Chain A
Amino acid sequence: MSGISPVQIFQDNATEERAENARLSSFVGAIAVGDLVKSTLGPKGMDKILQSLSTGEIMVTNDGATILKSIALDNAAAKILVNISKVQDDEVGDGTTSVCVLAAELLREGEKLVNQKIHPQTIVEGYRLASAAAYNALEAAAIDNSKNPSAFRQDLINIAKTTLSSKVLSQDKEHFAKLAVDAVLRLKGSTNLDNIQIIKKAGGRLIDSYLDEGFILDKKIGVNQPKRIENARILVANTPMDTDKIKIFGARVRVDATGKLAELERAERNKMKEKVEKIKAHGINCFVNRQLIYNWPEQLFADSGMMSIEHADFDGIERLALVTGGEIASTFDHPELVKLGHCDLIEEIIIGEDRLIKFSGVAAGEACTIVLRGATTHLLDEAERSLHDALCVLSQTVAEPRTLLGGGCAEMIMSKAVDEVAKVTPGKQAVACESFAKALRELPTILANNAGYDSSDLVAKLRAAHYSGNNTAGLDMYNGSIADMRTLGIVESFKLKKQVLMSASEATEMILRVDDIIRCAPRERTRE
């Protein structure tokens, strides 16, 4: 072998794709991901079954982020799309499919432009112009109803309905929309969804699900303790109630006689008893602890007629503190300083065949519980995901109260604005702008296609409606016609649409700019 033959500079299994090949690979990957999820878009979108390879478990879902998270992809561009969908999920909670589809459509158009020999950077410039124009159009079209509580509530209900209509809950969307809005409004502006607990119990129908006006804790009351307490004073605590360990490092018990051991044991018990006494001194009749409560203290509580609930996990404790207005205590020396929680009634209730503890008539009530009922666990899981999406969007809308119209209306407004910009842009960027507008129009097209309507006809009609000044027109997916979205009440959150637009165009830019993919040799997997 002579030294001047092509030199291998990478490791053995590394590959490099350049220029056209690299672009082809990223376009194909991204478009494939888009096509994969696009059939779930819209009220008539279909679900997917995901089967785990290792355990064979089955998941039925309509949620873009869940679908994409579960697929093992090997394509770089596809991975970027999965990532934006995940970010969308973290940031707004819904629109995870839309963001992927939009990015894929933008890339599909981008591919055509590259094939026309337009420099990728020129396309990027055009897309930037277009996305700025689209954003301005979105902002102009957004409506803020937060000053008017009843209108705002109606907005929220509409948003929830729009979100839920593409999900498994669409049959009972009125019911769930109301439920979700009530739950979110109880948070009083906090976006921490941990405070909404969703309890899933198989059995019953979806419509039997309800928002509890109090709070439900999925735990048991200690033995021999009252199962019902009226006018409860609750101490929410996080403290060890097994044996109080000595925390000083290196300490250990060393005794030389059994007698002394017994004494020590007694001292230990006394210590626990003291602790219980101190807790009792708070004047409470219910004690909820995050950690375990051993039999001995539990019995002590039972003796004094108090209710004790052990092992409420961290979220449960936090929620309970929020609901009852008490503080989470770990020391008990100053009863006068500890804020206790209050509620009118604590009782054990039975849902399905499980016993739960219900706190009703709570003081602060900044957390709540939704009990979901349904026929199968798969259904319940999907219902929970759908409801979670709705809750996320609602809580974000409470923080950013502007709203937009759905049903392809917002997309059409953006597309119109982008077209206007294209008309006045000199140079090749205009071509890219037009493509951007076209990609935006793909979203209503997919909506119509998924519903089985004649998409070319409908979208053309919709576009005509917008150009003749009717900028509230959208697609009515139940009748297959153009209708006024405001009267139909199909509303979406501004933040959602904004994030979809921004993420999708950022990801597109990023992928368009790539002209080289270098794949390092995969790390050798050694079995241990």
Chain B
Amino acid sequence: MSAVYAQDEYGRPIIIVREGQKKQRVSGIEAHKSHILAARAVANIVKTSLGPRGLDKILISPDGEITVTNDGATILTQMEVQHQIAKLLVQLSKSQDDEIGDGTTGVVVMAGALLEEADAMLDRGIHPIAIADGYERACNVAVAHLESIADTVPFDKNNTDMLMRTAKTSLGSKIVSKCHDKFAKMAVDAVLSVADLERKDVDFELIKVDGKMGGSLVDSVLVKGVVVDKDFSHPQMPKELKNCKIAILTCPFEPPKPKTKHQLDITSVEEYKNLQQYEKDKFNEMVKQVKDSGANLVICQWGFDDEANHLLMQNQLPAVRWVGGPEIELIAIATNGRIVPRFAELTPEKLGFAGTVKEVAFGTTKDRMLVIEECANSRAVTVFVRGGNKMIIDEAKRSLHDAICVVRNLVRDNRIVYGGGAAEITCSLAIEKAADQVSSIEQYAMRGFASALDAIPLALAENSGLSPIETLADVKSRHATENNPWLGIDCNLKGSNDMRKQFVFDPLLSKRSQFLLATQLVKMILKIDDVIMPGEIEG
């Protein structure tokens, strides 16, 4: 479109609407349709990664970095969508990720399905708000039904069977399913060792997931302690220490640097010499203070001066420098030590304790890491992932994070529902039943919600190479006839639809939040009927 302009009396143009600055505007049903299409496009992308036989995606970042992942939230955030509604869906999966940590794909697929149903209803002339209200009612029914069918799983520190199985359900769709038991066990152990079962709380700060290329996924380990990507400051310090009393310092082994602006003028030889002496004494004093406190290992957030470094070495004080803030906190928690900001405040009580501290070398490179184990406080753990390439390690870390979240959710609330689409199918049936009793137009919307719920088992069946409609119809009829809410899609082709026997569990919290979040977002999208975009200013 060319610019709109008028001419003044001399023939000079007066620009009224600048070229390319036309505002774009979509409104009414057209806007709804366009939004629904965009949302469906997003849902279709992640749909194929649902379930144990779902596939992965490769994402290439603007800088050419590669991510291979199965995690819905990661796929969506890294694919950098531009469409506004698509962005909302990205947000949706992110909030599921923040809140629950798992089920990020499911929530998007569900929102997509709900919108698809809404599309059909809009064609029939049902008002968007009526649809939104109907969805709301249906969602309430579904959540209530979920709670009624939820099972409680018993667990404690010694009986982790159920936790393992739930973690395995979460890990089943990921690449780490190669060492399924191992990763599930690592996730469960990690959570249980930091969990506060009394308060039903799990502090994620205490679980660190670290990775290092090389070896294979099987070589991954759970370290009951802290792993720091650092080495000893002096190459000749011992590489392995036993019974360490650790001084954790946040002050540099350097001459003091007052924060206020100052100047120290040297005007005479006398002063110069004094200053030299002061410097030397300062170093000696620092080392002495550390030594006096009884510490035999120094972990410092800052650097060391060469001289200080050698003094430490001479006084048999192994030291680690440049340990980052979060890591130093973790070490402090793990070893029950206090972070000491000044040498003068160092006392024996403030020292941390660890059974062994050793430097571990990897492969043929110079990389070395420090493993701090047998700490005084066994609650800090590090999951150390190994793998054949960078992408697999990243993916394994994400998968572990998901599994850890799932286990944490169970610690918070140990009610579960059955996976494999079982929960969705039974909710769908429950909603249909409830819908018949609604007299208003919302009835249709509720039925729409019910059939949208079928999208998840359908996608599961499709990804597993089963005939989706046939399988779903079969399972659904069995739900109705046998009144058995734990029948789902047999994704692993084990020959049984009973999810209870296959041990496919999802935490109730996660399912419920999927329903609530998806419904909320769909309601919001349905309420939008006009999008105005400022045109791009050219030049």
B16 at the interface (CB under 8 A from A): no
Asked whether, in the complex, the Cβ of A510 is within 8 Å of the Cβ of B175, the reply is yes
Chain A: how many interface residues by the 8 Å CB criterion?
92
The contact string, 1 if C-beta is below 8 Å from chain A, for chain B 442-485, is: 00000000000000000000001100000000000000000000
Asked whether, in the complex, the Cβ of B236 is within 8 Å of the Cβ of A523, the reply is no
Residue of A nearest to B42 (CB): A9
Residue of B34, B80, B216 near A3 (CB, 8 A) is B34
A518/B60 contact (C-beta < 8 A), A87-B388, A264-B272, A502-B388 known: yes
Residue of B nearest to A267 (CB): B269
Residue of A8, A91, A256, A510 near B391 (CB, 8 A) is A510
- Distance (whole angstroms) from the CB of B69 to the closest CB of chain A: 10
Q: Which of B129-137, B241-249, B309-317, B377-385 sits within the interface?
A: B309-317
- A330 to B315: give the CA distance in the assembly, Å: 13
- Residue with the highest number of chain B CB atoms closer than 10 Å, among A121, A244, A260: A121
Residue of B nearest to A522 (CB): B62
The contact string, 1 if C-beta is below 8 Å from chain A, for chain B 47-90, is: 01000110111111111101010100001001111110010000
- A4 to B41: give the CA distance in the assembly, Å: 13
The contact string, 1 if C-beta is below 8 Å from chain A, for chain B 368-390, is: 00000000000000000001111
A221 at the interface (CB under 8 A from B): no
Asked whether, in the complex, the Cβ of B60 is within 8 Å of the Cβ of A327, the reply is no
A252/B265 contact (C-beta < 8 A), A2-B30, A499-B215 known: yes
Residue of A8, A321, A331, A513 near B314 (CB, 8 A) is A331
A503 at the interface (CB under 8 A from B): yes
Asked whether, in the complex, the Cβ of B236 is within 8 Å of the Cβ of A328, the reply is yes
- Distance (whole angstroms) from the CB of A495 to the closest CB of chain B: 10
- A16 to B48: give the CA distance in the assembly, Å: 14
Asked whether, in the complex, the Cβ of A91 is within 8 Å of the Cβ of B306, the reply is no
Q: Which chain A positions have C-beta within 8 A of B273?
A: 267
Residue of A11, A246, A263, A502 near B275 (CB, 8 A) is A246
Q: Which chain B positions have C-beta within 8 A of A140?
A: none
- A507 to B267: give the CA distance in the assembly, Å: 68
Q: Which chain B positions have C-beta within 8 A of A264?
A: 266, 268-269, 272
- A328 to B237: give the CA distance in the assembly, Å: 10
Asked whether, in the complex, the Cβ of B465 is within 8 Å of the Cβ of A119, the reply is yes
B534 at the interface (CB under 8 A from A): no
Residue of B83, B261, B392 near A8 (CB, 8 A) is B83
Q: Which of A45-53, A158-166, A189-197 sits within the interface?
A: A189-197
- Distance (whole angstroms) from the CB of B365 to the closest CB of chain A: 5
Interface size class of B (residues with CB under 8 A): 35 or more
B12 at the interface (CB under 8 A from A): no
Residue of B nearest to A291 (CB): B306
The contact string, 1 if C-beta is below 8 Å from chain B, for chain A 493-509, is: 00000010011101101
- Distance (whole angstroms) from the CB of B62 to the closest CB of chain A: 4
Q: Which chain B positions have C-beta within 8 A of A77?
A: 58
Q: Which chain A positions have C-beta within 8 A of B283?
A: 331
A431 at the interface (CB under 8 A from B): no
A26 at the interface (CB under 8 A from B): yes
- Distance (whole angstroms) from the CB of B426 to the closest CB of chain A: 27
- Distance (whole angstroms) from the CB of B162 to the closest CB of chain A: 26
Q: Which chain B positions have C-beta within 8 A of A352?
A: none
Q: Which chain A positions have C-beta within 8 A of B268?
A: 260, 263-264
- Distance (whole angstroms) from the CB of A66 to the closest CB of chain B: 14
A249/B234 contact (C-beta < 8 A), A79-B66, A515-B55, A517-B60 known: no
A318 at the interface (CB under 8 A from B): yes
The contact string, 1 if C-beta is below 8 Å from chain B, for chain A 467-500, is: 0000000000000000000000000000000010
Asked whether, in the complex, the Cβ of A509 is within 8 Å of the Cβ of B178, the reply is yes
- A514 to B55: give the CA distance in the assembly, Å: 6
Q: Which chain A positions have C-beta within 8 A of B75?
A: 518
Residue of B nearest to A503 (CB): B388
List B residues 191-216 near A (Cβ within 8 Å).
213-216
Residue of A nearest to B315 (CB): A337
- A518 to B53: give the CA distance in the assembly, Å: 20
- Distance (whole angstroms) from the CB of A478 to the closest CB of chain B: 29
Q: Which chain A positions have C-beta within 8 A of B78?
A: 520
Asked whether, in the complex, the Cβ of B364 is within 8 Å of the Cβ of A254, the reply is no
Asked whether, in the complex, the Cβ of B80 is within 8 Å of the Cβ of A80, the reply is no
Asked whether, in the complex, the Cβ of B254 is within 8 Å of the Cβ of A247, the reply is yes
The contact string, 1 if C-beta is below 8 Å from chain B, for chain A 4-20, is: 10111111101010010
Q: A11-B81, A192-B361, A506-B392 are in contact. List 5 more A-B contacts (CB 8 A).
A: A194-B366, A263-B269, A271-B276, A328-B236, A514-B58
The 10 closest A-B pairs by CB, nearest first: A330-B310, A503-B388, A3-B30, A502-B216, A523-B62, A515-B55, A91-B214, A91-B363, A506-B388, A9-B83
What would be 15 A-B contacts, judged by CB atoms less than 8 Å apart?
A2-B30, A4-B37, A9-B42, A10-B82, A11-B81, A77-B58, A251-B265, A253-B266, A260-B268, A271-B276, A503-B216, A506-B178, A507-B389, A516-B45, A516-B48
Q: Residues of B at under 8 Å CB distance from A? A: 26, 30-31, 33-34, 37-38, 41-42, 45, 48, 52-53, 55-64, 66, 68, 70, 75, 78-83, 86, 175, 178, 213-218, 234-236, 254-258, 261-269, 272-273, 275-276, 278-280, 283, 305-307, 309-311, 313-314, 361-367, 387-392, 395, 464-465
Q: Residues of A at under 8 Å CB distance from B? A: 2-4, 6-12, 14, 16, 19, 22, 26, 74, 76-77, 79-80, 83-84, 87, 89-93, 119-121, 128, 191-194, 238-240, 244, 246-256, 260, 263-264, 266-268, 271, 318, 321, 327-331, 333-334, 337-338, 392, 395-396, 499, 502-504, 506-507, 509-511, 513-523
